[in-house]
Amino acid sequence: MHRSLRALSLVVVLGGAPFACRPDFGDRESLVTRTQVLAVRGDPPEAKPGEVVSWSLLVATPDGPVAEPIASWALCATPKLLTENGAASAACLGDGVRPIVEGAAAASAAIPGDACALFGPQVAAAELRPRDPDVTGGYYQPVRVTVFDRGATSVAFGLQRVGCALANASADVTTDFSRRYVANANPELEPLEATLGGAPVALDAIPAGATVTLRASWPAEAAERYVVYDLASRAVVERRETMRVSWFATAGTFESDRTGRAEDELETSTTNTWTAPRAAGSAHLFVVLRDARGGVAFASHALVIR
């Protein structure tokens, strides 16, 4: 059995009220009803200050994916205040950024030299405190993406993992960590499998109203083993990446918005069910795979309901 994972997504999409929390009285997260950024993929997904990263997008609309989105790219240059709970400082919605490129579907830039000071443990200002790593020991540079489509504007933040030095660790631990740690690599998605009643079904021949089982898979090596500095034991310990799939569609209903595998599950796939609309027509399906350290893979599929 797969486990449903509810970890924080590494893409945070902002609407008209940035960073506001609101009750979910409307459509589910997995239903695409407007233009939205579903994923920001960094290549490589982990880089040290000074290293160049290239970013690409998965942008969805109710009519399907946007092949060449028109986007404005910038690196957040303002750390969050202690009172802010969002993925990035509210200042990064305004002028608190370093622009990269305007009107491009993809972007490339070097990780700023002060990324570990702004968003990691090496603070350089007295009014800032060192940032806490996530459970994988990671720190993240927010990447702001503004997408323009059909007169609407969508703003999202992708979180680029940054390789920073260990904080509050002994020299022996730091040496051990540096020797054993391998930077993250992006996972890859294998072809999506669909079955109906246990038999394969083509994505362009789904019966109206049918509940289809979908299986997203990845190579065994995609769930990488890595080391992390454990604060409790003050030692370097080995972990294995969790894998999480976020599911989106322009019509129909998923059983779960997200599914995945925990670090102690060795299976290389996760399943979900999708119930097709009762009327014939077309739809689009989007699959976003994320590993625990910020790696991303995504795919889109055209569906025909008969």
Q: What's the confidence (pLDDT) of residue 39?
A: 98
* Lowest mean pLDDT segment, chosen from 18-27, 62-71, 154-163: 18-27
Residues 250 and 283 sit within 8 Å (Cβ to Cβ): yes
Q: What percent of the chain has pLDDT over 70?
A: 90
Q: What's the confidence (pLDDT) of residue 22?
A: 36
Q: What's the confidence (pLDDT) of residue 11?
A: 63
> Distances from the Cα of 34 to the Cαs of 69, 84, 152, 204, 217, in angstroms?
14, 27, 9, 23, 27
What are the structure tokens assigned to 245, written together? 């799939």
- The CATH classification number of 11-305 equals 2.60.40.150
Which amino acid would we find at residue 138?
A: G
Q: What is the mean pLDDT of the chain?
A: 90
Q: Report whether pLDDT(21) > 60.
A: no
Strand, coil or helix: what is 175? helix
Q: Report whether pLDDT(241) > 60.
A: yes
Q: Report whether pLDDT(17) > 60.
A: no
Of 232 and 294, the structure prediction assigns the larger pLDDT to: 294
Q: pLDDT tens-digit profile of 202-231? A: 999 999 999 999 999 999 999 999 999 998
Cis amide prior to 23 (ω within 30 degrees): no
Q: What's the confidence (pLDDT) of residue 118?
A: 93
* Lowest mean pLDDT segment, chosen from 15-29, 111-125, 141-155, 257-271: 15-29
What confidence tier does 26 reach under pLDDT thresholds 50, 70, 90?
Answer: low
Q: Report whether pLDDT(92) > 80.
A: yes
Q: What's the confidence (pLDDT) of residue 80?
A: 86
Strand, coil or helix: what is 123? coil
Mean pLDDT, residues 264-281: 98
Q: What's the confidence (pLDDT) of residue 82?
A: 77
What confidence tier does 191 reach under pLDDT thresholds 50, 70, 90?
Answer: very high
Q: What angle do CA 132, 44, 216 make, to 5 degrees?
A: 90
> Distances from the Cα of 93 to the Cαs of 74, 89, 194, 195, in angstroms?
10, 8, 40, 43
For 79-116, letters b (16+ CB in 10 Å) and e give: bbeeeeebbbbebbbeebbeebeeebbebebebbeebb
Of 25 and 161, the structure prediction assigns the larger pLDDT to: 161
Mean pLDDT, residues 229-235: 92
Q: pLDDT tens-digit profile of 103-152? A: 999 999 999 999 999 999 987 666 666 788 999 999 999 999 999 998 88
pTM summary value:
0.91
